[in-house]
Structure 1
């Protein structure tokens, strides 16, 4: 399993100037390569490298940085094509898709640049790095990280590291290849329901959200709307600054929630069952206030955090169909819209079972996790008994609920 470790660099004035010139030249060269790739419709790594290597060397890049610039451009075009195929840029003929297809990809002057071990070396005992720059080797640049990150870097760092300049600070994103942990056979599954009022709810009844968190989220929404209405230069600058602050807040919160969920599953010997929410923003219809809340929280990121933490701990992970988990009864399996009269209440119209709506949905997800895991790990064995067949067989739209 690959994990990215972020460390902060502390270059002196001369080193910082050399790093800045290096990023500027690499991204200027990337724009040249991108224009050539678009002009000749050449997007493969090797072909693009052969096409532009002479130009890159003439611009002042050494061999390895020149190769990495060509590969960075090829990777960007591969990502663009993947987004187009997935429909992330709209349907054919849509304004956003036409715009992205009608011009070469452009790179910012301070966009990240990858380096391999030939042009970047780590001196772990001294906690310094030496980086190739357009002015020669940078000398030893100090870096800082946590003790856990230092141990991981020392034991598992492999491959490339990305040089990043953000908000006046310098960072290295290093790739660590951690050995896979054997997945333990789960004793049941911990169902996790993702939602808007409660970001995550487990079938044990734990709801990972509170008034304090919602207050911060709503305050951020109000400030964002106010600044967008103003539209001045200073308002746009503040919006950019707040966007990063909100992203850091969401990522920290998601990390905390994911850690608690994985710790509970590990303590009880269970696996984790998550909803498969791919394409949820295109499928779900919500009122306007709910749309803002849905789009302002990184549900996909939370699912990724839970997944990679579970993988590191050797915990089984199942992604299940979320259809009707909010309308189905976890006790008898009866499905009806009337089962959920409001956001927080679930009351089965068939058997009378009552529970918090998100907890009931999480229990349905846990049940489907058991069934899906049995189907994958024991395809010839009998499927575990379920509350009712229609709780699993019916399909339909679902997702984060209000």
Structure 2
């Protein structure tokens, strides 16, 4: 078994190389927009059928054979994702205005959108930290890239499959797929419960508390800035808004990486497993005051959970998911359940035994105990019955 991760490297092209990369992205995405319109006209056929209607034209525009194939596949994959979102109800109820608009208009690709590259049009030279890459102006050689020592080691040992070229704010990046073997899972010595929230993004039963005031102040500043730019409404404001949104996404991902790494390292150090809440429906379960709702809906809890899971799999740390029902109302000392136990956002006072605790810490202990129960039940279910 292996864990599929994506390693990001930053390209450092010369001026002429940067111009060629930018022109290439603009060309392939313009071609993708044309393929998208053809796909919609023909009822979004399968990839092979779509290729018959578009491949020759793409080649006549100067796209290489592999680049043309990747453009067609990119378009078909985008429509597959759109159909999945419509069926899942992510674009509103069946027949909604938003859903009809998405299904009746061709998908549009930004000029800087990602373009996939396989090993026939992209090669890596790890010793010199350069790549050779296809462009519409010809093959570019000795394009330098920068990354951390750990990322370079991962690329050298585990890179497999395609890499995506993307331009963001005038900077070029390659996102390379790597398949890292999973470590052998050990027998856990207890579980670390992880409670997710708004005031504190993650609180563990071992005492770790992530986020808090500093992060929430940063998010509030970003929200205020977005509102100002949205009210202004000019083209430059919209460009700045997109740039700020991308920066905020990077900030969120970086924060989630730090939180998940800290939790997994602690579990590995103590030979413990990790017990996580089932994330499905978290936004519907939590009842918050109006100012907190934006914070809840803007934070990527699913991304944090995914980061914890893949880092744990790489380290051999067992992970279980538990039902979070009543974890904030139940006393972790005596087990008494009462919604009045949760006095406010941060305070828990048991109505039965009188114990006083931080509300998130109390919930994390309940999640840890549920994790042990789930793990034990899973082991017992795998033991063959005695004759």
Q: Identify the TM-score tier after normalising by the shorter chain.
A: over 0.9
Q: Which moved more, 1:273-282 or 1:105-114?
A: 273-282
Q: Note the C-alpha offset of 1:35.
A: 1.4
Cα gap change, 1:163/1:34 in structure 2, threshold over 3 Å: closer, same or farther?
same
Query: Cα RMSD over matched residues?
Result: 1.9
Paired residue for 1:146? Answer: 148
Paired residue for 1:206? Answer: 208
Q: Render the CA deviation track for 1:12-66: whole Å, top value 9, x for unaligned.
A: 2222222122112211221122112212123433332233222222222121111
Cα gap change, 1:236/1:57 in structure 2, threshold over 3 Å: closer, same or farther?
closer
Q: Which moved more, 1:323-332 or 1:229-238?
A: 229-238
Q: Render the CA deviation track for 1:168-202: whole Å, top value 9, x for unaligned.
A: 01111111111121211111110000001111101
Contact 2:130/2:142 (<8 A) preserved: yes
Cα gap change, 1:279/1:86 in structure 2, threshold over 3 Å: closer, same or farther?
farther
CA distance in 1, matches of 2:198, 2:189: 29
Q: Render the CA deviation track for 1:287-333: whole Å, top value 9, x for unaligned.
A: 32111111232222211211111111110011111122111222232
CA distance in 1, matches of 2:128, 2:45: 41
CA distance in 1, matches of 2:73, 2:300: 29
Q: 2:289 aligns with which of 283, 287, 290?
A: 287
Query: What are the ranges of 5 or more consecutive residues in structure 2 without an aligned counterpart?
Result: none
Q: 1:104 aligns with which of 100, 103, 106?
A: 106
Paired residue for 1:226? Answer: 228
Paired residue for 1:391? Answer: none
Q: Note the C-alpha offset of 1:284.
A: 4.0
Contact 1:43/1:77 (<8 A) preserved: no
Q: Which moved more, 1:257-266 or 1:276-285?
A: 276-285
Q: Note the C-alpha offset of 1:205.
A: 2.7
Q: 1:301 aligns with which of 295, 299, 303?
A: 303
Q: Which moved more, 1:18-27 or 1:184-193?
A: 18-27
TM-score, with length taken from structure 1? 0.90
Instruction: Please state whether the residue corresponding to 2:336 is helix, strand or coil.
Output: coil
Instruction: Please state whether the residue corresponding to 1:138 is helix, strand or coil.
Output: strand
Cα gap change, 1:90/1:57 in structure 2, threshold over 3 Å: closer, same or farther?
same
Q: Which moved more, 1:51-60 or 1:197-206?
A: 51-60
Paired residue for 1:386? Answer: none
Paired residue for 1:129? Answer: 131
CA distance in 1, matches of 2:321, 2:92: 26
Q: Note the C-alpha offset of 1:282.
A: 4.6
Cα gap change, 1:269/1:67 in structure 2, threshold over 3 Å: closer, same or farther?
same
Paired residue for 2:332? Answer: 330
Q: Does residue 263 of the first structure (1) align with residue 255 of the second (2)?
A: no
Contact 2:277/2:322 (<8 A) preserved: yes
Paired residue for 1:237? Answer: 239
Q: 1:157 aligns with which of 149, 153, 159?
A: 159
Paired residue for 2:38? Answer: 36
Query: What are the ranges of 5 or more consecutive residues in structure 1 without an aligned counterpart?
Result: 382-402
Cα gap change, 1:326/1:43 in structure 2, threshold over 3 Å: closer, same or farther?
farther
Q: Render the CA deviation track for 1:243-264: whole Å, top value 9, x for unaligned.
A: 2222222222221111111111
Instruction: Please state whether the residue corresponding to 1:379 is helix, strand or coil.
Output: helix
Q: Render the CA deviation track for 1:147-182: whole Å, top value 9, x for unaligned.
A: 111111111111111111110011111111111212
Contact 2:44/2:79 (<8 A) preserved: no
CA distance in 2, matches of 1:227, 1:65: 37
Paired residue for 2:97? Answer: 95
After TM superposition, the structure 1 = structure 2 runs for residues 15-26 of structure 1, keeping only pairs within 5 Å, are: 15-26=17-28
Q: Note the C-alpha offset of 1:281.
A: 3.0
Q: Note the C-alpha offset of 1:225.
A: 2.9
Paired residue for 2:197? Answer: 195
Q: Render the CA deviation track for 1:204-234: whole Å, top value 9, x for unaligned.
A: 2322133322322232233333333333444
CA distance in 2, matches of 1:244, 1:17: 22
Q: Render the CA deviation track for 1:87-114: whole Å, top value 9, x for unaligned.
A: 2212112222122111111111121100
Q: Which moved more, 1:44-53 or 1:95-104?
A: 44-53
Cα gap change, 1:205/1:51 in structure 2, threshold over 3 Å: closer, same or farther?
same
Q: Does residue 378 of the first structure (1) align with residue 363 of the second (2)?
A: no
